[in-house]
Structure 1
Amino acid sequence: MNITKENFGELNGDTVTAYRLINDHGMQVSCIDYGCTITEINVPDQTGNIENVVLGFDTVEEYKNHSPFFGCIVGRVAGRIGQAEFDLDGKNYKLLKNDGDNHLHGGLHGFDKVIWDATVEETADEVKLIFTHVSPDGDEGYPGNVNLTVTYSLNNNNTFQISYEATTDQKTLLNLTNHSYFNLSGNLKTDILDHELTLKSDQFVELSDALIPTGHLLDVEATAFDFRLGRKIKDGVTSEHPQNKLVGGGYDHPLLLSANHQEEISLIDFSNGRKLVIETDEPAVVLYTSNMMGDNFNIRGVQARKYLGVCLETQHHPDAINHPEFPTIVLAPGEVYQTKTSYSFSVLKGE
């Protein structure tokens, strides 16, 4: 087990540092302190060929100019907040509108645009990278000083875990996630339409035309949202379901998890045998199949395009503050925000 550290570049005169977490079996997770951004996850396929399975860039400038939240921590609130405003204890808070009339992923300068402080811990069985940041009262319109810790850890079982912890001195909102785009083909050899996704989920959240939750929960039964027995991602692209068509063909929806820490999410590329299992204590996962990705930039020599990656964003429901029927995302003084998600990589056994 090992962690390496090197200069990744500069942003507004500040140094951006890259870290590489390495286990004893060749798995490597690379990230930078700008946005806690995961830049690479290198894992083997069935033949032992080690390749990168997430979308990312090699320069700070590319992240600044082109990144659709590749690999970063988003917050204070992941997803959209309708009309970019909310009421909390009788006070109205107005946020920046950075997605039409709505607020998306914490605003224009959310946690993905911050250079976090980082410390390293190494043991024989695990390496950890501990990111910390203080979000000041009024940051992007949110109340309260919030102390945040995000820990990235890698063990010798090829499991990468993200742990989140936070406290506040005023009532505020918090709903964090990691926004990695996965592509198990390795080094973006193909898109993700033939990846098979399995989800322990019986319902998903209906979206309005503005992609804001309506508050209605829809059953997955007999729809392209039924991943309980596994299905190809391309089923959502060809689906005539109004919700698939609404988001441009594919998915950009919160699916409610019916189990936690029970292999509730799995993604497989049968062409090379790579398998990813995600376990979390969050109530939902936002499935986004990069339907809206533009083609005006390159990703390590590959032209960006729709369906090049799939995001599996474990979190609470988007716009929860405006839907009292959803689990709360309010954090109060004296409470500790804690959640974790693990990503375990393996290969399918041969015949």
Structure 2
Amino acid sequence: MVGVYELKNKKGDFSIKVTNWGATLMSVIVPDSKGNLADVVLGYDTVAEYVNGSSYFGALVGRVANRVAKGRFVLDGKVYHLYINDGKNALHGGHRGFSKVIWTVKEYVPDCDSPYITFYYHSFDGEQGFPGDLNVYVTYRLSSPYELNLHMNATALDKATPVNLVNHAYWNLAGHGSGDVLGHLIQVFASEYTPVDSSMIPTGQIAGVAGTPYDLRLLTPLGSRINLVSGGGAAGYDVNYAVHGNYAVDGDGFREVAYLRDPVSGRALELWANQPGVQLYTSNWMSNLKGKGGVVYGQYGAVCLETQGFPDAVHHPNFPSVILRPGGAAYRHDMLFKFSF
């Protein structure tokens, strides 16, 4: 059964809704500086719209998020072919990745000081072309005062496999239906990024941001650089930043990755995580998309901050590895969204 589940703080002014379809984050309601509540993530009203949608709103993306060049890779001497769904490449786990399956609700504890829900999915050997059986758990948890914790764990059962899970929330801190995010201020704590070719595949280079429009180490209005960068031919950010720290999969290296603030509402978001990369995407391709409450989302209507392993890491030995092995350390991806206003 597919359902919608709510987590809410005791005060009642901070809540989220999630569904076990794609372990998807459907809404995040937080106050602004005047106490007014708004939903700050884009999405749909009904689960059916998520089933039919193609924008990955709030979805848990896997087995391997982002792109894999030519939809193939070699692991331990064997060639694996993935489902091609982005030109000549595989994107976000294939046409039926983790965002397009029903997850099992393992625990749902809404009535406590730190309410949470845990979803489980068993990915079978050969699913979308990926090797080996994989057990995946995802937990959404609220904690005080206004913090959303997201924990992703995966264990390879019988074969080595690449794993790179992503939460694909689209953030607009002014409210999901309030227009574009070009007035938002952003800071990304990264001195390097991974340049891509015309088909959005990393070149393998890890380049410095200094002196480029990708340098967001100081608080910067999103709109001030939006026409100086492009991803796949559309103006705007769609790039992976190399967030320096400890790349170990056991949870070491947890640190602040990015900061986002809407000057009008006063809402701000700190993102903390333990992954080596973060994809910054400014909804460059979004156009006339009908969302919650009949609102129409347009270009630059939100910003995505997706902590992750590096895109196409299976083809670049100089990138942090995304290979998970049976008997080895489990995959662990921790995210913390700290809201303030």
TM-score range for the pair, normalised by the shorter chain length: over 0.9
Amino acid at match of 2:143: N
Give the 3-state SS of the residue equivalent to 2:99 in structure 1: helix
1:94-143 CA distance string (max 9 Å, x none): 11110000000000110001111112135743111011010000010001
1:242-281 CA distance string (max 9 Å, x none): xx36541111100111355443311000001000000001
Q: Distance in 1 between matches of 2:231 and 2:120?
A: 40
Pairing of 1:177-326 with structure 2 (within 5 A): 177-239=166-228, 241=229, 244=230, 246-258=232-244, 260-326=253-319
Matched, 1:339 2:330: no
1:205-238 CA distance string (max 9 Å, x none): 1010000000112211122211111111113322
Give the 3-state SS of the residue equivalent to 2:269 in structure 1: strand
CA contact (8 A) 1:290 1:308 kept: yes
Normalised to the residue count of structure 1, the TM-score between the two structures is 0.91
Matched, 1:53 2:47: no
Q: How big is the alpha-carbon RMSD for the aligned residues of Structure 1 and Structure 2? A: 1.4
Gaps spanning 5+ residues in structure 1: where?
Answer: 1-14
Query: Percent identity at matched positions?
Result: 38
Q: Distance in 1 between matches of 2:176 and 2:76?
A: 48
Query: Aligned to 1:71, which of 44, 54, 58?
Result: 58
Q: Distance in 1 between matches of 2:135 and 2:232?
A: 37
- Indicate the larger mover: 258-267 or 277-286: 258-267
Gaps spanning 5+ residues in structure 2: where?
Answer: 246-252
Q: Distance in 1 between matches of 2:227 and 2:316?
A: 31
Amino acid at match of 1:331: L
CA contact (8 A) 2:177 2:297 kept: no
In structure 2, the residue matched to 1:30 is: 17
In structure 2, the residue matched to 1:10 is: none
1:10-42 CA distance string (max 9 Å, x none): xxxxx3200110012310011111001111000
Matched, 1:21 2:15: no
Normalised to the residue count of structure 2, the TM-score between the two structures is 0.93
Higher strand share: 1
Q: Distance in 1 between matches of 2:296 and 2:37?
A: 22
- Indicate the larger mover: 194-203 or 256-265: 256-265
CA contact (8 A) 1:121 1:128 kept: yes
Q: Distance in 2 between matches of 1:210 and 1:126?
A: 43
Q: Distance in 1 between matches of 2:110 and 2:327?
A: 31
Matched, 1:160 2:148: yes
In structure 2, the residue matched to 1:43 is: 30
Q: How many residues align?
A: 330
Q: Distance in 2 between matches of 1:251 and 1:172?
A: 29
Give the 3-state SS of the residue equivalent to 1:214 in structure 2: coil
Amino acid at match of 1:16: V
